[in-house]
A and B are shown apart, each in its own frame.
Chain A
Amino acid sequence: MNKTIIININGIVFHIEEDAYDVLKLYMTDVKRHFSTSADSLEITTDIENRIAEMFNETLANQNKQVIVEADVKLIVEQMGTVEDFEFAENDAKASGAGAYTYNTERRRLFRDPDDHLVSGVAAGIANYFDIQAVWIRLAFALSFAFAGSGFILYIILWIVIPKAVSRADRMAMKGEKQDLKGFKKSFEEEMSSVKENLSNFRHEAKPFVYKARDFVGDFFDHLGVFLRGAGGLLIKLLGLVILLTCFGLAIALIVSLVALVGFGKTDIYHIFPFNIVNRDTNMIFLTGGFLLLAIPLLTIILLTIGFLFKNATFNRSIGTTLLCIWLASLGAVIYYGVRATADFREGAKLSKTIMIKPSANNTYYLQLNDTKYLTNEDSTRLRIKERFNGMVILDDDFNGNDMDSPDRVTIDVEKSDVPQPVLIESFTARGRNDEDALINARNISYRFLQKDSVLKFNRHLERLAGSLWRGQELHMTLKVPLNSKLIIDGKLDRNMNFNLYDCLQNNNPKNPAGSVFIMTPDGLQCKIDTIPATKVDTLNNKLPADTAKTPVQ
């Protein structure tokens, strides 16, 4: 019993035994390569193929059988003649045609040497071509690897471009051995048997680049496999171990952070961005989904690596399918809730409120940070303020001070007022699913501003009503003061002011302990730089020589 292969010769289908196919394939490879230098190579090889097809048909009809066997192919090859026969005939033709020209059979051709290869036989092939020892070429390649891997790229290109010496004719051409008819007749049978050991090499023939690339990839993994079975095995195991340990580390970090978030989340994470966007239930889904999204690939890598390292199949198809399903489900959940959360930010709304400020007598206003913590009635009841913190002031600990943790931003600008009456314009902005939602969100912002005589107290953050979620709430305040008003701004408000307080504090002379001193000029608010102290300095300087004169240097 033999395996048969179905082949197609120019549109005609034949059943051919595997052995016979190998012989035929080798023969056609040789024929094609032989004529590849000729301009009519396609026509000639097609003629030959057609004739072979015809002879196959005749053989099958005469012997009343269905499958072509090795003997048939050999008979046909004999009749058609081997490449060596062609070469012999052509050499004579050339010799007779060109007179003095004699075909140099000792000319070498560049092939990859499959008999003496370390990786793919490129180095040995080049060495054969120049008739030197392969070790020098290998050394040259090894050295050139050091130059930004240029040798590596060159090697890969050569690997793709240089054909592998498949047939005996190739090998002889590669080594520049003299090819004559006798040598070939003897070697043909030899080749047939040796060829069977190298069946996989038959694909390496002059073919379009796609096939070459495919062959190259096959070849590459073939060699990689050989490499891995040998010295590379240890290296790969080490690599696997590193991957395994890394993945374990990441998994532990992931679990710790999940536990931390969930445990911590009971109290506080819902004030922290991005967990303040959605409600608790959604947050739990988000956390779980996100955890699975990261954990499943890690688990997969760990299982695969363990399976590879210890050669036991811990990872079978059903586990894989289950994990994939869970992963896809969590991906779906995260995307769904993510999109839904984003939808809550679709529309924006803005509300504006004007607060009249009682003008102070000397036209001076102190802007200060109100750092007492804002407590709602509920908070007061819950914390039992009256009993436990009687007589104390609970301060805003400023823990949520940075914008990332608490994006409920409050900004303050100062402008010139056209009327003597100073005003504070508060404009609240918020986002929501639709206009109405956004308006309600903006209205639900509460902010505490206090005036105590000439002291204006601002809170650092705005307050959301209990249970309302973060929807990009912002408050922008514009303080309008009349011309020549003096503003003394507390340094603690620095974060909320739209201009720099610190530089002004440096310029103020003398420095005001209550903060930076500004003055409203016709051009807008400007830092107050006193001219009087400057003249004082001048007079001081003028007096200085007199002083030193009175008290001479000791």
Chain B
Amino acid sequence: MIVENTQTQMRKGILEYCILSIIAKGETYASDIIAELKKAQLLVVEGTLYPLLTRLKNNGLLTYNWVESISGPPRKYYVLSDEGKTVLEQLDKTWQELVYAVQTAIGDRK
């Protein structure tokens, strides 16, 4: 149980960073984000993504455009806002620091 909890905590911590990173590559549709996250084994179900996206959007990190779709209702394609880009840059930096910190910590163990 404790293991599971910690694992989830670790995943959660980097989830928003990953989402922002994926969106930073260009206009992205929610299911594309899901596909990438699934590939990275960060997220299991799609439903959890929508509240996250909405929260990021409400915090001003994301905006979206409506794009017509042939297979259903119009889709929301997300893009990073200027603020989102700055935040992502800061997170990049933090991530590098974390990677360094973790590697340093693990390095001792080898």
Given A35, A51, A88, which contacts B46 in the complex, CB threshold below 8 Å?
A: A51
Q: Which residue of A lies closest to B47 (CB)?
A: A81
B75 to chain A, nearest CB (A): 8
Determine if B71 and A40 form an interchain contact, defined as CB atoms under 8 angstroms apart: no
7 nearest A-B residue pairs (beta carbon):
A81-B45, A54-B72, A81-B47, A89-B48, A80-B47, A47-B50, A50-B73
Given A48, A53, A93, which contacts B12 in the complex, CB threshold below 8 Å?
A: A93
B51: A residues at CB distance < 8 A? 35, 38, 40, 44, 86, 90
> Quick check: is B30 within 8 A (CB to CB) of the other chain?
yes
Determine if A47 and B76 form an interchain contact, defined as CB atoms under 8 angstroms apart: yes
> Quick check: is A85 within 8 A (CB to CB) of the other chain?
yes
Given A40-B54, A43-B54, are A12 and B72 neighbors across the interface (CB < 8 Å)?
yes
Q: Which residue of B lies closest to A78 (CB)?
A: B45
Complex: how many Å from CA A88 to CA B48? Answer: 9
Complex: how many Å from CA A81 to CA B46? Answer: 6
Determine if B44 and A85 form an interchain contact, defined as CB atoms under 8 angstroms apart: yes
B12: A residues at CB distance < 8 A? 89, 92-93, 96
Determine if A61 and B50 form an interchain contact, defined as CB atoms under 8 angstroms apart: no
Given B9, B58, B73, which contacts A54 in the complex, CB threshold below 8 Å?
A: B73
Secondary structure class of chain B's binding surface, majority of residues: helix
B55 to chain A, nearest CB (A): 8
Determine if B8 and A48 form an interchain contact, defined as CB atoms under 8 angstroms apart: no
Determine if A57 and B71 form an interchain contact, defined as CB atoms under 8 angstroms apart: yes
B13 to chain A, nearest CB (A): 6
Determine if B31 and A51 form an interchain contact, defined as CB atoms under 8 angstroms apart: yes
A89: B residues at CB distance < 8 A? 8, 12, 48
A-B CB contact pairs (8 Å), 26 listed: A10-B73, A12-B73, A31-B47, A40-B55, A40-B58, A43-B54, A47-B50, A50-B73, A50-B74, A50-B75, A58-B71, A61-B71, A79-B46, A80-B45, A80-B46, A80-B47, A81-B48, A85-B45, A85-B48, A86-B45, A90-B48, A90-B51, A92-B8, A92-B9, A96-B12, A96-B13
> Quick check: is A95 within 8 A (CB to CB) of the other chain?
yes
> Quick check: is B69 within 8 A (CB to CB) of the other chain?
yes
Determine if B54 and A54 form an interchain contact, defined as CB atoms under 8 angstroms apart: no
**Which residues in chain B, 56-96, are within 8 Å of chain A measured between CB atoms?**
58, 69, 71-76
Complex: how many Å from CA A12 to CA B74? Answer: 11
Determine if A48 and B50 form an interchain contact, defined as CB atoms under 8 angstroms apart: yes
A86: B residues at CB distance < 8 A? 45, 47-48, 51
Complex: how many Å from CA A553 to CA B47? Answer: 122
B76: A residues at CB distance < 8 A? 47
Complex: how many Å from CA A95 to CA B47? Answer: 19
> Quick check: is A11 within 8 A (CB to CB) of the other chain?
yes
Complex: how many Å from CA A95 to CA B55? Answer: 16
Determine if A57 and B54 form an interchain contact, defined as CB atoms under 8 angstroms apart: no
Interface size on B, residues (CB 8 A): 25
Given B5, B44, B69, B72, which contacts A81 in the complex, CB threshold below 8 Å?
A: B44
Complex: how many Å from CA A61 to CA B73? Answer: 15
Determine if B72 and A95 form an interchain contact, defined as CB atoms under 8 angstroms apart: no
Determine if B73 and A79 form an interchain contact, defined as CB atoms under 8 angstroms apart: no
Complex: how many Å from CA A92 to CA B16? Answer: 13
B65 to chain A, nearest CB (A): 14
Complex: how many Å from CA A374 to CA B46? Answer: 105
Complex: how many Å from CA A93 to CA B5? Answer: 12
Q: Which residue of B lies closest to A87 (CB)?
A: B48
Complex: how many Å from CA A527 to CA B13? Answer: 112
**Which residues in chain A, 62-115, are within 8 Å of chain B measured between CB atoms?**
78-82, 85-86, 88-90, 92-93, 95-96
Determine if B54 and A44 form an interchain contact, defined as CB atoms under 8 angstroms apart: yes
* Binary contact track A378-397/B, C-beta < 8 Å → 1, others 0: 00000000000000000000
Most buried by B among A11, A58, A61, A81: A81
Determine if A50 and B44 form an interchain contact, defined as CB atoms under 8 angstroms apart: no
Determine if A47 and B58 form an interchain contact, defined as CB atoms under 8 angstroms apart: no
Q: Which residue of B lies closest to A35 (CB)?
A: B51
B8: A residues at CB distance < 8 A? 88-89, 92
A468 to chain B, nearest CB (A): 84
A553 to chain B, nearest CB (A): 116
Complex: how many Å from CA A458 to CA B69? Answer: 103
A48: B residues at CB distance < 8 A? 47, 50
Complex: how many Å from CA A323 to CA B29? Answer: 68
* Binary contact track A31-59/B, C-beta < 8 Å → 1, others 0: 10001001010011001101101101110
Most buried by B among A35, A50, A51: A51
Most buried by A among B46, B69, B75: B46
